[in-house]
Amino acid sequence: MTFIRIFFQVSYFGGLAWIVMLLAESRIKKGSLRIKHRFRHHAEKMQSWRKVWLIRHIDGLLYLTSSHYQPGVSAIRFILRSSYLILIVFITLMFVDEVPRIAYQNPFLIQEPLTTSIPWTGALVLSLVFGVLPYVVLRIRYSHNVVKASYDLADVVKIMSRYAHLSVSSALRYTADDLSAANVLKRPLYVLSSVFSSYGSFAELQAEAVKFSNAIRTTFATQFVLDLLYIEKEGVQHFKRSLLYLNDSIEHQRQAILRAKDENRDAISLGIWVNAFVILLLSTFAIRHLTWRVFFKLLLQTTIGLYMSAFVFISFIVAFVIGRILSRPKLDY
Amino acid sequence: MRNLFFLLVLASLAYIAVLVATSQPRIRSMFRRQLNPNRLADRLQSEVLQEILRQSGVQISAKRFNLFRIVLILLVILVGYGTSFFQNEKPTMLPLLLAFVVWFATSPHRHTLGGLIFSRLQKRQYNKKNGELISFLKLYEHNKRLQNLNFEHFVKRISPHFSLIHKELVILSERVTDDGLQDALEWFVRQFPKDHPFVGQIRTIILATEGVDGEEVVKYLDEESKTIARISNDLYLSRWNTISAFATLINALPSLAMFFLVILLVLYNISIVKNPF
């Protein structure tokens, strides 16, 4: 019964919060359309978001992960969504009166489930955890994409040598058109191409180019961007030659990496299977010793079992993610 | 409610005591000078901690870092004991334990968890710096082969692309203009530790190729590129070894935890069976 009651309570308050948000959003949209133009003009003029460390940081992460990246705006949107999430989870948890108790001293004596209330510190911690989750996912995707970007750059260099007779901005645009959708550099190349076609001063161009190379952070990316800047200044006659040379050195280094990787790739990728195997083996041993019912009651209805199984679960996932990220090194010197 | 009034009475008594004690203007001004928040915060600045933070790549001032630690510890203790005080519960050891954990994980002393984290970060930063040096050498080679820019212009152009040796490169380019190539490179080598594996070789390569043009340079660079490849390969292998050690450590954690979990559950089951209540 309590489960159903809690479900209705949560859905009631969640729906209420949702309606309030929708109303507020439509209200704000109406009012903001008028001042939007002026505000955006000011915001773009001041570039004030660059001063805030958090926004700069999130902006750098979204540059390689978001498929609809806009400088500054995407980062602010992401931060606002995370703070909405924190607020909504906190308010919802504060309105839930009682939850069934999960952890008991002795789970075998319990006839009907007891209930407890959530303390406000617990609600705060839980809502913070929920609010940080999007950031963690973003971070994982970013560290995956950074490594992928260093390999995708090879494709970009190869395709771009076909368009080496054009000006830099159109060569970038055609190259981005030809890239597959899975290539993480597609959107950044469009952004870079638009900067190359419409920059006001050379310093502005250089700042955007540095942003591109710092997002990938390999020697080849720096070399690529330096070549682009050099060619934009001096003309396209050496464009093809330098791209081909860059392609040569990328392929050379890729061979070296593959050779180094062959020696100890297995240790990391095996780790995940060893973990799963050990966990299964120990669980079957414990089940044989204690029987199903006792094992799961101990695991899921005692404080010590809950804490430890949560730890095992989280460390298993962390090991999986870290192993996946580390097992593929960047294409760099 | 009773506790709240009790607190209010205590606070007002303390306020009256402060008023009485600082009735003389001289004493009051002394108090004000001593208890100035900016002055108190300035005391938290520590040069040793600042150096440690800088070397481990954390871009934050030591004052702010210390302030953050103290505020976090105070918050944990205040929230933990404040709620139990207002709700008339018996205070537990948990907030103190949490405060200790916070201190232990952020302290820069050598024998704590924080010290371990900082030394790891420093090592990582050192490896990254070496990677940037190799990258600098590769860019130099590329420039020498294809574009052949002036050395100081080249260094100035590539400096914004590096984050760790950015400052050194800017100063190097200024020094080449002012003192000449040799002195500037001497200065650059001195910025790194004495037993650095390859910064001396970088200096030799640049000195040998700078000022020479055409075919000779390409021939020399072809010879040297084997050395460069060996250096970068060594660096790559060492980095890869640290990564795989770290990954093995992380990978062993879930299995170990599962092992302890099963043992604990069996023990707990035995204790429940023996003593059901």
Which has the higher per-residue pLDDT, A105 or B84? B84
Q: How confident is the model at residue A27 (pLDDT cuts 50, 70, 90)?
A: low
B103 shares a domain with B126:
no
Q: Do B276 and A106 touch (CB under 8 A)?
A: yes
A277 has pLDDT over 80: yes
Angstroms from A45 CA to nearest CA on chain B: 24
CB A28 within 8 A of CB A114: no
Q: From residue B1, give the alpha-carbon distance in Å to each of A43, A72, A279, B90.
A: 49, 48, 51, 16
Average pLDDT value for chain A: 85
Give the residue on B whose Cα is nearest the Cα of A213: B161
Token pair of B57, please?
């790549």
pLDDT recorded at residue A268: 66
Asked whether residue B228 is assigned to any structural domain, the reply reads yes
Q: Which residues of A touch B264 (CB under 8 A)?
A: 304-305, 308
A287 shares a domain with A183:
no
A228 shares a domain with A318:
no
A249 shares a domain with A155:
yes
- Could you give the angle at the alpha carbon of B232 between the alpha carbons of B228 and B238, nearest 5°? 150
A32 has pLDDT over 70: no
Asked whether residue A72 is assigned to any structural domain, the reply reads no
Q: From residue B227, give the alpha-carbon distance in Å to each of A257, B140, B198, B224.
A: 17, 15, 10, 5
A241, A264, A287 - which closes a domain: A264
Q: Kindly report which listed range (A218-232, A266-280, A287-301, B194-208) carries the lowest average pLDDT score.
A: A266-280
Angstroms from B34 CA to nearest CA on chain A: 33
pLDDT recorded at residue B216: 81
Q: How confident is the model at residue A47 (pLDDT cuts 50, 70, 90)?
A: low
CB A300 within 8 A of CB A283: no
Find residues 227-256 of chain B whose CB sits inside 8 Å of chain A: 229, 232-233, 235-237, 240-241, 243-244, 246-248, 250-251, 253-255
Asked whether residue A97 is assigned to any structural domain, the reply reads no
Give the residue on A whose Cα is nearest the Cα of B131: A333
Q: Do B251 and A286 touch (CB under 8 A)?
A: no
B234 shares a domain with B126:
yes
CA B63, CA B61: separation in Å to the nearest integer? 5
Spell out the residues 6+ positions from residue A221 whose beta carbon is closer than 8 angstroms to its own.
A149, A150, A153, A212, A213, A215
Q: Do B269 and A312 touch (CB under 8 A)?
A: no
A264 has pLDDT over 90: no
Asked whether residue A142 is assigned to any structural domain, the reply reads no
Q: From residue A324, give the alpha-carbon distance in Å to each of A63, A140, A147, A253, B101.
A: 22, 10, 11, 22, 30
B108, B136, B170 - which closes a domain: B108
B105 has pLDDT over 80: yes
Asked whether residue B131 is assigned to any structural domain, the reply reads yes
**Mutating which of A274, A315, A318 best tests the B interface, going by the most B Cβ atoms within 10 A?**
A315
Asked whether residue A78 is assigned to any structural domain, the reply reads no
Q: Give the pTM.
A: 0.80
A226 shares a domain with A309:
no
B171 shares a domain with B69:
no
Angstroms from B214 CA to nearest CA on chain A: 16
Minimal Cβ distance to A312: which of B79, B248, B254: B254
Which has the higher per-residue pLDDT, A271 or A43? A271
Asked whether residue A101 is assigned to any structural domain, the reply reads no
Minimal Cβ distance to A274: which of B158, B233, B255: B255
CA A221, CA B272: separation in Å to the nearest integer? 62
Q: Kindly report which listed range (A25-34, A64-73, A181-190, B100-109) carries the lowest average pLDDT score.
A: A25-34
Calculate mean pLDDT across residues B57-63.
86
Token pair of A59, please?
């902006």
Asked whether residue A220 is assigned to any structural domain, the reply reads yes
Structure ipTM: 0.76
A141 has pLDDT over 90: yes
CA B160, CA B209: separation in Å to the nearest integer? 24
The total domain count for chain A is: 2
pLDDT recorded at residue A251: 92
Q: From residue A265, give the alpha-carbon distance in Å to each of A177, A270, B18.
A: 35, 9, 68
> Positive or negative, the Cα torsion across A92, A96, A100, A101?
positive
Q: Which residues of A touch B277 (CB under 8 A)?
A: 106, 109
Give the residue on A whose Cα is nearest the Cα of B225: A249
Asked whether residue A217 is assigned to any structural domain, the reply reads yes
A292 shares a domain with A260:
no
Asked whether residue B204 is assigned to any structural domain, the reply reads yes
Name the residue range of residue A281's domain: 266-326
Spell out the residues 6+ positions from residue A281 whose beta carbon is closer than 8 angstroms to its own.
none
pLDDT tens digits for A224-235? Answer: 999 999 888 888
A282 shares a domain with A211:
no
Asked whether residue B256 is assigned to any structural domain, the reply reads no
Alpha helices, DSSP H, located in A198-238: 202-216, 219-234
pLDDT recorded at residue A315: 92
Q: Do A119 and B246 touch (CB under 8 A)?
A: no
Alpha helices, DSSP H, located in chain B: 2-21, 25-34, 37-42, 47-55, 62-86, 94-106, 113-146, 151-158, 166-179, 181-190, 199-209, 215-274
Asked whether residue B255 is assigned to any structural domain, the reply reads no
Q: Do A271 and B247 touch (CB under 8 A)?
A: yes
- The rounded percent of chain B whose pLDDT value lies above 70 is 99
Calculate mean pLDDT across residues A53-71.
88
Asked whether residue A204 is assigned to any structural domain, the reply reads yes
Angstroms from A38 CA to nearest CA on chain B: 34
Question: Which has the closest alpha carbon to A140: A322, A295, A302, A9?
Answer: A322
CB A149 within 8 A of CB A184: yes
B155 shares a domain with B84:
no
B232 shares a domain with B126:
yes
Question: Which has the closest alpha carbon to B199: A124, A32, A218, B191?
Answer: B191
A234, A264, A294 - which closes a domain: A264
Asked whether residue B189 is assigned to any structural domain, the reply reads yes
The total domain count for chain B is: 2
**How many CB pairs below 8 Å do chains A and B form together?**
152
B228 shares a domain with B134:
yes
Minimal Cβ distance to B146: which of A222, A238, A260: A238
Asked whether residue B41 is assigned to any structural domain, the reply reads yes
A236 has pLDDT over 60: yes
A240, A264, A288 - which closes a domain: A264
pLDDT tens digits for A160-202? Answer: 999 988 999 999 999 999 999 899 999 999 999 999 998 888 8
**Residue B214, Cβ neighbours under 10 Å: how many?**
8
**Mutating which of B244, B249, B266, B275 best tests the A interface, going by the most A Cβ atoms within 10 A?**
B244
Which residue shows structure tokens 């390569």? B205
pLDDT recorded at residue A269: 67
Calculate mean pLDDT across residues A210-218.
90
Q: Do A298 and B248 touch (CB under 8 A)?
A: no
Asked whether residue B116 is assigned to any structural domain, the reply reads no
Find residues 86-125 of chain B whose CB sits inside 8 Å of chain A: none
Q: Which residues of A touch B142 (CB under 8 A)?
A: 223, 242, 245-246, 249
B41 shares a domain with B9:
yes
B96 shares a domain with B136:
no
Q: Do A249 and B138 touch (CB under 8 A)?
A: yes
pLDDT recorded at residue A36: 62
Q: Which residues of A touch B131 (CB under 8 A)?
A: 332-333
Q: How confident is the model at residue A293 (pLDDT cuts 50, 70, 90)?
A: confident
B103 shares a domain with B129:
no
CB B249 within 8 A of CB A269: no
Q: How confident is the model at residue A266 (pLDDT cuts 50, 70, 90)?
A: low
pLDDT recorded at residue B215: 78
A232 shares a domain with A159:
yes
Q: From residue A93, give the alpha-carbon distance in Å to each of A10, A16, A23, A85, A134.
A: 8, 14, 22, 12, 19
Name the residue range of residue B89's domain: 2-108
Q: Do A268 and B247 touch (CB under 8 A)?
A: yes
Cα B220–chain centre separation: 40
Minimal Cβ distance to B147: which of A106, A230, A268: A230
Spell out the residues 6+ positions from residue B264 whose beta carbon is closer than 8 angstroms to its own.
A304, A305, A308
CA B108, CA B117: separation in Å to the nearest integer? 9
pLDDT tens digits for B71-80? Answer: 999 999 998 8
pLDDT recorded at residue B228: 79
pLDDT recorded at residue B37: 80
**Residue A18, Cβ neighbours under 10 Å: how many?**
12
A270 shares a domain with A168:
no
B207 shares a domain with B185:
yes
B63, B80, B108 - which closes a domain: B108
B138 shares a domain with B77:
no
End-to-end Cα, chain A, rounded Å: 62
A116 phi/psi in degrees, rounded to 5:
-135, 170
